Amino acid sequence: MIAENIKQVKSLLPANVTLVAVTKTKSVELILEAYHAGHKVFGENKIQEMVEKYEQLPKDIEWHMIGHLQRNKVKYMAHFVHLIHGVDSLKTLKEINKQAA
């Protein structure tokens, strides 16, 4: 079912658009089903959940942070997150730069 849904949605998107599958509240098993169907771009809005999933899933997954990012939690995800979709302060941006270096 997941593989069919991914295939259908991707067929509707232009080639220059990346589908980010949101993993909020989804189990590792469901994420793996999407991964084995060829999808490798996932988004999460809670850092703690993202870190737990990152530790259990293949390392070639491209993770996106799609929710509010607290500066004190940047250190937990800066080393593996591919893209942060929003930063609301210069202090947080500086912390991202520091942790990702």
pLDDT of 101 higher than 90: no
Domain ranges of the chain: 2-100
Residue 1 pLDDT: 87
CB 23 within 8 A of CB 3: no
The percentage of residues in the chain with a pLDDT greater than 90, rounded to a whole number, is: 96
- Own/partner pairs for 9-17, CB < 8 Å, 24+ apart? none
- The mean pLDDT value of the chain amounts to 95
pTM tops 0.75:
yes
> CA angle, corner 79, sides to 74 and 84, nearest 5?
55
How many CB atoms are closer than 10 A to CB 95?
A: 20
Residue 99 pLDDT: 93
Q: How far apart are CA 8 and CA 70, in angstroms?
A: 35
What's the pLDDT band for 40 if we cut at 50, 70, 90? Answer: very high
Q: How far apart are CA 33 and CA 35, in angstroms?
A: 5
What CATH superfamily classification does 2-100 receive? Answer: Alanine racemase (3.20.20.10)
Residues 66-89: what's their mean pLDDT? 94
What's the pLDDT band for 56 if we cut at 50, 70, 90? Answer: very high
Taking the chain, what is the end-to-end CA distance rounded to the nearest angstrom?
40
